[in-house]
Amino acid sequence: MAKPGTEIQGRIDAAVAEWAQRLPVDQIPSVVVFLFARLASEGSRNSERNGASAREAEKLLTAHELAECLGVPESWVRTEERAGRIPGVRLGKYVRFKLSDVERALAERQRQGA
5 within some domain: no
Query: DSSP class of residue 26?
Result: G
**Number of separate domains in the chain:** 2
Q: Which domain holds residue 92?
A: 59-114
* pLDDT, tens only, 51-62: 555 555 578 999
pTM above 0.75, yes or no: no
For residues 100 and 59, is the Cβ–Cβ distance under 8 A?
A: no
68 within some domain: yes
The residue that leads in pLDDT, 41 or 104, is 104
If asked whether residues 83 and 111 sit together in one domain, one would say yes
Instruction: Tell me the three state secondary structure of residue 31.
Output: helix
* pLDDT, tens only, 61-105: 999 999 998 999 999 999 999 999 999 999 999 999 999 999 999
If asked whether residues 29 and 68 sit together in one domain, one would say no
